[in-house]
């Protein structure tokens, strides 16, 4: 796609700041109207969106709806239903020494937002974030990924057709465009991508002290204990791993299987792959492709260590990598050094749960954490580890609950969103104390004649 010039980027930002200065976006009815407009636009563009996702990533319409479109529609409905309540000033208790003053929190939009989305869920991760910006009353510059150009073009058409360009704009480009954008004085930047680029974003925005939300990734562990339901674990693990061909930031990145059940588990995972995608996986319309040739080359370089239990087939021209299980993996293998972001599942075994805890805690905090086993053990292992989110006896599903915050911790991210947390992400919580003038107690004034009384009140 043609890159947006610096002149147009600067012009768009100036237009957004001017639009925000009119205070239109602060009106709740305006925000609700924009949310309803967005929902209507998505439904009108649904077929185009699904077709674009098929072209760019070979996503079936079913997967496109479940993992992208339905999530955004649900988010919009949630905001429409609750926005008035979320945005209402919240009365809070005033400390004794403030009496008769009253205290409250008011929620004001931060201003002009930059939203930068990745290619793996190109529609959901851009537009779902936009919902929070609209809900909070911000103007937005949207930056889709250049690696999914068909989806990017459809989203641009949808936005241009339905929204004032001074309110929401779309810009295109790669690294150079990002460099230009990150150097500007936005009121908030919301970036979804890799930890490597997240560090670049933080360094750049430090110049303007711009607040950021970083939705990153990492190596999310999946542990299957000796007492787990193996049939359920096998099905749910490989489902979570192979959605979008493993190109999911919260996909199980590697598997820790108890040595007593490992062989049975891997055989059942392999069976579930066939049950889901058939004997000829390449021909399945439900199995997506890798985003580009360079990603295929990177992933293919991870297959030369360990023992391939299942899969391993690669078709470079088709950007196809078969679902692959690699057994007998060691911590120093290349595949364990960075997030895989593909349909490859490395497997390590353990005899005592502390081995998994020690390994996880020695490495960066992951975006997601998955444990299959008894709830009592799950409670203990959650208490001894850290992650952005977690599922017990399932994978991925925590992202689907609008009442839960979604985000990372440490290397896997900064800040969170979804539901009310999206509203908070683009809002400033402003503390307000209102003191009446009908009385003016002398306690606080110099020369502190009533200091002993003040000490008792504080």
Catalytic residues: 215, 249
Phi, psi of 364 (to 5 degrees): -60, 150
* Parallel, antiparallel or unpaired: strands 212-215 and 413-414: antiparallel
Three-state secondary structure of 386-406: CCCEEEECCCCHHHHCCCCCE
3-state secondary structure 430-445: EEEEECCCCCCCHHHC
Residue 224: strand pairing partners: 257, 372
Distances in whole angstroms, Cα of residue 407 to Cα of each of 197, 347, 368, 370, 413: 16, 26, 9, 15, 6
Backbone angles phi, psi at 295, to 5 degrees: -70, -40
Is cis: bond before 34, omega within 30 of 0?
no
The two structure tokens encoding residue 103: 């205290």
* SS3 call for 265: helix
Are the beta carbons of 228 and 206 closer than 8 angstroms? no
Locate tokens 């088709």: which residue? 318
Strand partners of residue 215 = 192, 413
Alpha-carbon 233 to chain mean position: 24
Do residues 262 and 349 touch, judged by C-beta distance below 8 A? yes
Residue among 237, 244, 200 nearest 220 (CA): 237
Q: Are strands 102-109 and 90-92 parallel, antiparallel or unpaired?
A: antiparallel
Q: Which helix (H) or strand (E) holds 301?
A: none
């Amino acid at each position: 796609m043609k890159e947006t010039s610096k002149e147009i980027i600067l012009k768009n930002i100036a237009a957004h700041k001017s639009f925000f200065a009119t205070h239109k976006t602060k009106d709740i009815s305006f925000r609700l109207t924009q949310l309803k407009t967005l929902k209507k636009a998505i439904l009108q563009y649904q077929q185009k969106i699904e077709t674009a996702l098929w072209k760019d990533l070979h996503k079936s319409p079913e997967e496109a709806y479940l993992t992208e479109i339905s999530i955004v529609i649900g988010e919009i409905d949630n905001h429409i239903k609750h926005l008035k309540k979320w945005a209402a000033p919240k009365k809070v208790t005033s400390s004794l020494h403030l009496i008769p003053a009253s205290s409250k929190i008011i929620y004001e939009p931060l201003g002009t937002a930059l939203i930068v989305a990745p290619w793996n869920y190109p529609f959901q991760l851009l537009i779902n974030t936009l919902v929070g910006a609209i809900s909070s009353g911000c103007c937005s510059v949207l930056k889709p990924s250049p690696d999914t150009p068909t989806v990017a073009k459809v989203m641009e058409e949808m936005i241009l057709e339905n929204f004032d360009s001074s309110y929401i704009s779309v810009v295109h480009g790669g690294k150079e465009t990002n460099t230009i954008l990150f150097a500007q004085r936005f009121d908030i930047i919301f970036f979804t991508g890799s930890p490597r680029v997240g560090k670049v974003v933080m360094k750049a925005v430090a110049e303007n002290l711009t607040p950021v939300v970083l939705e990153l990734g990492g190596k999310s562990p999946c542990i299957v204990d000796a007492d787990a339901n193996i049939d359920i674990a096998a099905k749910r693990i490989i489902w979570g791993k192979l959605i979008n061909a493993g190109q999911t930031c919260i996909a199980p990145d590697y598997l820790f299987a108890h040595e007593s059940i490992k062989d049975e588990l891997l055989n059942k995972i392999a069976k579930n792959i066939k049950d889901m995608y058939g004997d000829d996986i390449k021909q399945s319309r439900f199995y997506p492709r890798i985003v580009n040739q360079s990603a295929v080359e990177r992933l293919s370089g991870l297959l030369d260590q360990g023992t391939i239990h299942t899969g391993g087939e690669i078709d470079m021209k088709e950007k196809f990598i078969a679902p692959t299980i690699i057994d007998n993996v060691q911590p120093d293998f290349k595949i364990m050094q960075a997030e895989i972001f593909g349909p490859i599942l490395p497997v390590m075994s353990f005899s005592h749960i502390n081995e998994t805890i020690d390994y996880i805690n020695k490495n960066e905090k992951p975006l997601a954490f998955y444990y299959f086993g008894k709830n009592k053990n799950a409670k203990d292992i959650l208490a001894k580890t850290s992650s952005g989110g977690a599922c017990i006896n399932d994978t991925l599903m925590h992202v689907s609950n609008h009442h839960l915050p979604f985000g990372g911790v440490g290397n896997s991210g900064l800040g969170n969103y979804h539901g009310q947390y999206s509203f908070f992400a683009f809002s400033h919580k402003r503390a307000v104390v209102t003191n009446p003038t009908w009385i003016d107690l002398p306690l606080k004034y110099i020369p502190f004649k009533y200091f002993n009384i003040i000490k008792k009140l504080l």
